[in-house]
Amino acid sequence: MLHTTTPPSPDLFDVAIIGAGVVGCAVARRFALEGARVVVIEKGSDLLSGASKANSAILHTGFDAPPGSLELELVKAGRAEYLAIRHRLGLPLVETGALVCAWNALEADKLEAIAAQGRDNGIDELRLLSGAEARATMPGLSGRLVAAVEVSGEHIIDPWSAPLAYLAQAVALGAVFLREAELIDGRFEGEWQLATSAGKVRASSVVNAAGLFGDIVDRRLGFTPEFTIRPRKGQFVVLDKAAFRHVPRIVLPVPTEITKGVVVCPTAFGNVLIGPTAEEQDDRERATVETETLQALLARGAEIVPALAGMPVTAVYAGLRPASEQKAYRIFSRPEQRAITLGGIRSTGLSAALGLAQYAMKLHAGFKLPAFAPVAEPDIALPNLAETRERDWQRPDHGEIVCHCELVTRREIEAALASSVPPGDYGGLRRRTRAGMGRCQGFYCNARLAEMTRGRLSTPLAVEEEKA
């Protein structure tokens, strides 16, 4: 076994959560804090193996969410809880604010309505700005800017450390994290009997947070799915840290019906992100990047912020959003079978996750099971990866730097490997430490990482000797 995961307990868990995306991790934390015995069942070799690994890392206010929607309510609740717990969990908040930018008269005509909707949604920190006023807050914006709505509450967070912290808290409270455990099927006979590729699991209740596989998991649980996942691919380009000074704020386009559109924003790690695209596809697994699309994103970024032209590319990635045939979240509770489905969380999952977890807890209370006994919030120690706060390399006696581009220390990598939720694959190590994520993408450190991670990753960086 690569992972030190406890084997499935013959005991009965209070709740089995299917999927260790950001929503599953937040639900695991919430139930563990309430005193439930939790098991998280994850198909991939690490958390965030699906939709949650690729997003724009924005902590939304909900200013543009459908008025009166559950999504709006949960984005606001999730955001409020994030802001309340982030100090305790050591999670960053980069207070950038956002500008919804109109690049022509047609788009400018829509700004009034965007601001009005935002105010209706209870977001007060909104201002209509002329192009010049908006550029005064971000001089790098193209002079073609006509007007903008400033939403000062939209911020940037670390999209990987947050869910890791949620899951680490759950694990600290005894939750079991099962990896490479694909749900095969489930039967409810007074309790849930779940067959997974890593063994059988018994649980009193089940929460489906399977993201891109939400409808499939509902079917495997014996339900007729109430929705169909229609994966929507988003490609992103990450620019070199030299770009950061030109992009101090989140630059949003005027959205269309289909998508929020291409965003240009800083990252918590000191880079600049351009993306996502919105491409419908049937495949739920493959999220490819495509040369022409990446070139188009770069060109779009340089139109919005001219100084980005020619800026070197640090990384490219693509992710799939678990969109469904409706824009709304697809949340269902089946009290008779003690099952909750959190489906169709297409693009606000990072912001709403903690709110979704609260909501799942509320739905669970409707199952009329004996009450749990809430426990104190455990302290966990994750390294800070955000550039806005002190990083390990800035401390005396940090030892040695392994990844020079991202200034990742050896002890940070060793700590991640020895942690309660160690990385299951190279992507997981990168998300936990940033090692190999910089401009050279491992030219200098990949071999060292191969050595340090021997026997630890499901897909090792170095191949084994072939038998003669």
Partner 1 sequence: MSAAADVIVVGGGPAGVAAAVELRRHGVSRVMLLDREPELGGATRHCGHSPFGMREFGRVYVGAAYGRRLAAEAARAGVDVRIAHSVVRLEAGGRLLVTSPRGVEDMAARRILIATGARETPRSARLISGDRPVGVITTGTLQSYVAFHGLMPFRRPVVIGSELVSLSAVLTCLVHRARPVAMLETAPYALVPMAFRWFPKLVGVSFHCGVQILDIRGAARVEEVSFRRADGMVETLACDGVLLTGGFTPEAALMRQSALGVDAGSAGPAIDQDGRSGDPRVFAGGNVLRAVETGGWAFREGRAVGAAIAEDLSRDDEPGEPVAVTFEAPVKLVVPSLLRRRGNATPAFHDFQLRFERRARGRLALELDGREVWATERSFMPERRILVPLPPAALSAERVRFRFRERT
425 contributes a contact to partner 1 by CB under 8 A: yes
Q: What is the dihedral of CA 33, 371, 74, 90, to 10 degrees?
A: -10
Output 27 or 316, the one with its CB closest to partner 1.
316
Q: Which listed residue (29, 241, 260, 284) binds partner 1 by CB under 8 A?
A: 241
Output 45 or 204, the one with its CB closest to partner 1.
45
Q: Which two tokens stand for residue 394?
A: 């800035």
Output 195 or 401, the one with its CB closest to partner 1.
401
Beta bridge pairs of residue 330 = 343
404 contributes a contact to partner 1 by CB under 8 A: yes
Return the DSSP state at 229. B
In single-letter form, the type of residue at position 408 comes to V
Q: Which listed residue (407, 408, 413, 435) binds partner 1 by CB under 8 A?
A: 407
Smallest CA-to-CA distance from 215 within 314, 343, 406, 326 is with 343
Distance in Å, CB of 319 to partner 1, minimum:
11
459 contributes a contact to partner 1 by CB under 8 A: yes
Q: Which two tokens stand for residue 460?
A: 């090792």
Q: Which listed residue (99, 250, 262, 316) binds partner 1 by CB under 8 A?
A: 316
Please report how many Cα atoms fall inside a 13 Å half-sphere around the Cα of residue 377, on the Cβ side: 12
Beta bridge pairs of residue 192 = 188, 203
Using the contact rule CB under 8 A, the part of the chain among 138-146, 204-212, 248-256, 436-444 near partner 1 is 436-444
In single-letter form, the type of residue at position 296 comes to A
Which long-range CB contacts under 8 A does 398-405 form with residues at least 24 apart? 402/435, 402/445, 402/448, 402/449, 402/452, 403/433, 403/434, 403/435, 403/436, 403/437, 403/438, 403/444, 403/445, 403/449, 404/438, 404/440, 404/444, 404/445, 405/437, 405/438, 405/439, 405/440, 405/444
Binding map of partner 1 across residues 33-62, x = CB under 8 A, - = no contact: ------------x-----------------
172 contributes a contact to partner 1 by CB under 8 A: no
397 contributes a contact to partner 1 by CB under 8 A: yes
Instruction: Give the CA distances from residue 72 to residues 79, 118, 307, 412, in Å, rounded to whole numbers and listed in that order.
Output: 11, 11, 35, 37
Size of the site for partner 1 (CB under 8 A): 53
Smallest CA-to-CA distance from 322 within 216, 402, 196, 428 is with 216
Q: How far apart are CA 62 and CA 71, in angstroms?
A: 8
Distance in Å, CB of 398 to partner 1, minimum:
7
Distance in Å, CB of 70 to partner 1, minimum:
34
Q: Which listed residue (255, 261, 317, 367) binds partner 1 by CB under 8 A?
A: 317
The answer to whether 227 and 36 are in contact (CB under 8 A) is no
The answer to whether 17 and 28 are in contact (CB under 8 A) is yes
Output 237 or 339, the one with its CB closest to partner 1.
237
396 contributes a contact to partner 1 by CB under 8 A: yes
The answer to whether 194 and 206 are in contact (CB under 8 A) is yes
Using the contact rule CB under 8 A, the part of the chain among 92-100, 176-184, 188-196, 237-245 near partner 1 is 237-245
Output 325 or 451, the one with its CB closest to partner 1.
451
Q: Which listed residue (295, 362, 374, 381) binds partner 1 by CB under 8 A?
A: 295
Distance in Å, CB of 316 to partner 1, minimum:
5
216 contributes a contact to partner 1 by CB under 8 A: no
Q: Which listed residue (128, 195, 313, 369) binds partner 1 by CB under 8 A?
A: 313
Output 78 or 442, the one with its CB closest to partner 1.
442
Which residues bind to partner 1, rule: CB under 8 A?
Answer: 45, 238, 240-242, 285-291, 294-295, 310, 312-318, 393-401, 404-405, 407, 425-426, 439-444, 446-448, 450-451, 458-459, 461-463, 466
